[in-house]
Amino acid sequence: MEGQSVLIVDDEPDMRMALSHALTRSGYHVDTASSGLEGLEKFKEDKHNLVITDMKMPEISGMEVLAGVKKICPMVPVIMITAYGTINKAVEAMKEGASDYILKPFSSGALEEALEKAWKSINSNGRSDKRDPETRPTEKKIITQDSELGRIVDLAESIAPSNATALILGESGTGKELLAFHIHQNSGRSGGAYVAVNCAALPENLAESELFGHEKGAFTGADIKKPGKFELANHGTILLDEISEMPMNLQAKLLRAIQEKEIDRVGGSRPIPIDARIIATSNIDLKEAVHKGSFREDLFYRLNVIPLTMPPLRERKGDIPLLTEYFLKRYSRANHKNMTKIAEETVTLLMKYDWKGNVRELENTIERAAILGQGDTLLPKHLFLEKPEQEDRGQIPFGVGLSVKEMERELIVQTIKEVKGNRTHAAKILGISIRTLRNRLREYREDPPESGFLAV
């Protein structure tokens, strides 16, 4: 099944590019137009499943695009993009048949929510586009058969209905934001906004305004009153991604917002109550950051109510075949390819790879393979993987003259060294139980190796 066809109409190249990239990664077939006139011409030629259009454009406005689309095909949803100053127009557009509107600047969560609402509106009418019976987008999923990650997902779902603040830790690319969105979807706030804030990308001179908003005239360039991310997330969820990157002065104001459940706009005269569930993520140890003085201790304890840690991909290698199959289907469909099979030698190579970038690196690798590869089977040559670092390090001396027991001993010792003595991780990598590992180590101590082998 090919992805849904979405037409993006916007005169700003950066916005077209950003939306196109986000939707393509979600499995949609994307077409773009740089003006309302071009958009209507493209829609007449090839009726798309959904249209996303900016409100203010030269020549003809988003309202006129909406009217034109509805005249040609009344059942096709139209999502409007609007700035805060034209929100009244957006409400008017809703009355004229728009499916939803997104307020600039918006997060990927807000976009997904608008898309989900659009597909539901089609389903509730019992109809769909004549060319494609499928009317729902590809959904974000947590794909795993790993018992540890399964336990974390179960814990996340159990705390989702509460308003408790959650702190999700883990290396980059492990899926921290995906788990945060999963909590939102399983909460009573799922009908509200999901606003993701990349704390590392907040411009230092505008960070407070971005989070808490500002009044008109509060500073040079503040031509209109603008709500901040916390206000946009009211009655919903706000994700503070990579919270460790937040400046110290802003950490103090965030702490107050959490404690008092209110924020102060820049240039404002009174506090504004907010009701937003807070989820924070970090790819570093925040306790260590507190110890170094780069993160407030009181804020850490405010955030660390429900701690969740995402395991790296190298500790759940059993998920690699599942994830590979999922990404291959997704990106083959998005790029109109027929690559649906995976060769055994490809799986073997993927399982041996280090995946320092975790699931994100695996996803990018499979996306690249789906785009560049030919045929219906994913082959090792399609992966373009870098040479694993393990090949550059000292090799375990497996060779003629060693017994199986000696090779097993060497493998276990090297694995424990690689994980810096963490026996639980070593057992998982070796595919044995922690009890078996302890027994082996006890045997090695009672029967020490001859010279030439590493001591345990």
Q: How do residues 345-398 score in pLDDT, each as one tens digit?
A: 999 999 999 999 999 999 999 999 998 889 999 999 999 887 654 444 445 555
Report the relative pairing of strands 272-273 and 262-263 from DSSP bridges.
antiparallel
Could you give the CA distance from residue 437 to residue 439 in angstroms, rounded to a whole number?
Answer: 5
CB within 8 A of 36, min separation 6: which ones? Answer: 9, 53, 57, 59, 60, 61, 62, 64, 65, 68
Count other Cβ atoms within 10 Å, centred on residue 308: 20
What's the pLDDT score for residue 150? 93
Question: What Cα–Cα distance (Å) separates residue 403 from each residue in 162, 358, 375?
Answer: 57, 35, 43
Residue 451 has pLDDT above 50, yes or no: no
Percent of the chain with pLDDT over 70: 87
**How remote is the C-alpha of 192 from its chain's centroid?**
18
Q: Give the CA angle between residues 290, 239, 195 to the nearest 5°.
A: 150
What's the pLDDT score for residue 306? 94
Question: What Cα–Cα distance (Å) separates residue 412 from each residue in 311, 404, 419?
Answer: 21, 12, 11
What's the pLDDT score for residue 136? 33
What's the pLDDT score for residue 109? 73
Residues 57-63: what's their mean pLDDT?
87
Residues 68-96: what's their mean pLDDT?
77
Most confident of the ranges 69-83, 101-115, 173-187, 434-448: 173-187
Query: Among 19, 25, 1, 121, which residue's Cα sits nearest to residue 33?
Result: 19
What's the pLDDT score for residue 217? 86
CB 35 within 8 Å of CB 43: no
- What digits encode the pLDDT tens for the residues 161-177? 999 999 999 999 999 99
Could you give the CA distance from residue 412 to residue 414 in angstroms, rounded to a whole number?
Answer: 6
- What digits encode the pLDDT tens for the residues 209-254? 889 988 888 888 777 888 889 988 889 999 999 999 998 989 999 9
CB 55 within 8 Å of CB 93: yes
Residue 134 has pLDDT above 50, yes or no: no
- What digits encode the pLDDT tens for the residues 307-333? 999 999 999 999 999 999 999 998 898
Residue 88 has pLDDT above 90, yes or no: no
The 3 state secondary structure assigned to 134-149 is CCCCCCCCCCCCCHHH
What residue type is assigned to position 50 of the chain? L
Query: Among 281, 73, 273, which residue's Cα sits nearest to residue 170?
Result: 281
Using DSSP, state whether 284 is helix, strand or coil: coil
CB within 8 A of 199, min separation 6: which ones? Answer: 240, 241, 242, 243, 244, 245, 246
CB 164 within 8 Å of CB 206: no
pLDDT, mean over the chain: 83
Cis peptide before 105 (omega within 30 of 0): yes
Could you give the CA distance from residue 433 to residue 100 in angstroms, rounded to a whole number?
Answer: 52
CB within 8 A of 112, min separation 6: which ones? Answer: 26, 137, 140, 194
- Give me 6's structure tokens: 């979405």
Query: Among 252, 206, 255, which residue's Cα sits nearest to residue 229?
Result: 206
Residue 133 has pLDDT above 80, yes or no: no
CB 380 within 8 Å of CB 349: yes
What's the pLDDT score for residue 380? 93
Residue 95 — φ and ψ, nearest 5°? -65, -30
Number of H helices, E strands in the chain: 18, 14
- What digits encode the pLDDT tens for the residues 136-147? 333 567 899 999
- Taking phi first (over 0 means left), then psi (-120 to 50 degrees means alpha), and beta for anything else, what does residue 159 get? alpha
What's the pLDDT score for residue 220? 81
What's the pLDDT score for residue 124? 47
Could you give the CA distance from residue 442 to residue 446 in angstroms, rounded to a whole number?
Answer: 6
Residue 94 has pLDDT above 90, yes or no: no
Tokens 């209109």, residue located: 224
Percent of the chain with pLDDT over 90: 41
- Give me 374's structure tokens: 């030919």
Query: Among 259, 261, 260, 241, which residue's Cα sits nearest to residue 299?
Result: 259
Residue 35 has pLDDT above 80, yes or no: yes
Is residue 172 packed enough to be buried (19+ CB in 10 Å), middle (13-18) or exposed (0-12)? middle
Could you give the CA distance from residue 352 to residue 314 in angstroms, rounded to a whole number?
Answer: 9
What's the pLDDT score for residue 257? 93
Alpha helices in 308-456 (DSSP H): 320-334, 344-352, 358-372, 404-418, 423-430, 434-446
What residue type is assigned to position 70 of the chain? K
